[in-house]
């Protein structure tokens, strides 16, 4: 997984626009990926997951894309709303039931 | 998804003391985990709580510092022993269902003075 940084990168998006949050993973053996949303003072909340036999999965207003060739994962949020403000973490599971978290991205919604 | 509760939600402790954090799930789950999240950072796995046997610790974490119990399939505790200010963090438990997905509790915010 990614190394933990001292500060979180921030993505600022206008309300109503689409958000794209990117994540790179390092373990080519990882076969299951999850995106979590963490609001201030709360635990991470499951958003969407994808297995390595897929390259795209859609949920309600969210889409996850997986590019195994370059070990890249992205989360797309359509029509971003104020309630989407949070820190977003990607996480990978390399077949041993342990989830490794990426360093996270803070999504800031502009009015 | 499982409903997970943690107690206490937050605490302020003196250095040298110990704090036990409880994690309760509303259904039986196969796997339970404990994570630490230092201020402004990502989550780091401390250990896997095994039902009926000793926990499995990750590199950098030891049983003497973070003893863990899991007496049944719905409950686990994590103790932070002999605390120092560097132990100030959010401690989170998570559970895994049969689908590999992990769900998290609300966390325990610990401040050590």
Strand partners, A37: A45, A88
pLDDT at B111 over 70: yes
- Report the alpha-carbon distance of residue A73 to residue A56 in Å, rounded: 10
pLDDT at B56 over 70: yes
Q: Answer yes or no: do A98 and B45 touch at CB < 8 A.
A: yes
- Report the alpha-carbon distance of residue B37 to residue A101 in Å, rounded: 11
Whole-number pLDDT of residue A95: 66
Whole-number pLDDT of residue B78: 98
pLDDT in tens, chain A (111 residues): 333 334 578 999 999 999 999 999 988 889 999 999 999 999 999 999 999 999 999 999 999 999 999 999 999 999 999 999 999 999 998 767 788 899 999 999 998
B14/A contact by beta carbon, under 8 A: no
Contact B32, B71 (CB under 8 A): no
Q: Which of A8, A42, A89 sits opposite B106 (nearest CB)?
A: A42
pLDDT at B31 over 60: yes
**pLDDT above 90 coverage of chain B, percent:** 82
Q: Answer yes or no: do B101 and A34 touch at CB < 8 A.
A: yes
Contact A37, A91 (CB under 8 A): no
Backbone angles phi, psi at B99, to 5 degrees: -95, 10
A100/B contact by beta carbon, under 8 A: yes
B40/A contact by beta carbon, under 8 A: yes
Whole-number pLDDT of residue B101: 85
Q: Answer yes or no: do B40 and A43 touch at CB < 8 A.
A: no
Q: Which of A6-15, B23-32, B75-84 has the lowest mean pLDDT?
A: A6-15
**pLDDT above 70 coverage of chain B, percent:** 98
Give me A39's structure tokens. Answer: 């609001």
Chain B residue numbers with beta carbons less than 8 Å from the beta carbon of A101 are 42-44
Q: Which residue has the higher pLDDT, B18 or B1?
A: B18
Chain B residue numbers with beta carbons less than 8 Å from the beta carbon of A103 are 41-42
Q: How far is CA B113 from the centre of its chain?
A: 20
The HSE-up count of residue A96 (CA atoms within 13 Å, CB side) is: 8
């Amino acid at each position: 997984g990614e190394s933990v940084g001292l500060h979180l990168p921030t993505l600022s998006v206008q309300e109503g626009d689409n958000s794209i949050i990117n994540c790179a993973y390092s373990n080519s053996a990882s076969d299951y990926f999850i995106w979590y949303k963490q609001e201030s003072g709360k635990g991470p909340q499951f958003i969407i997951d994808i297995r390595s036999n897929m390259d795209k999965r859609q949920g309600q207003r969210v889409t996850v894309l997986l590019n195994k060739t370059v070990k890249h994962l992205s989360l797309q949020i359509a029509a971003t709303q104020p309630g989407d403000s949070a820190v977003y973490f990607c996480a990978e599971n390399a077949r041993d039931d342990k989830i490794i978290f990426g360093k996270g991205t803070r999504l800031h919604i502009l009015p | 998804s499982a409903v997970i509760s943690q107690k206490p939600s937050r605490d302020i402790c003196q250095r040298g003391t110990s704090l036990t954090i409880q994690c309760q799930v509303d259904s039986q789950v196969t796997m339970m985990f404990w994570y630490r999240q230092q201020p402004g950072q990502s989550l780091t796995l401390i250990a896997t709580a095994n039902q009926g046997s000793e926990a499995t610790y990750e590199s950098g974490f030891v049983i003497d510092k973070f003893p863990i119990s899991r007496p049944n399939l719905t409950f686990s505790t994590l103790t932070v022993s002999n605390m120092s200010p560097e132990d100030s963090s959010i401690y989170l438990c998570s559970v895994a269902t049969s689908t590999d997905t992990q769900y998290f509790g609300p966390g325990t915010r610990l401040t050590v003075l």
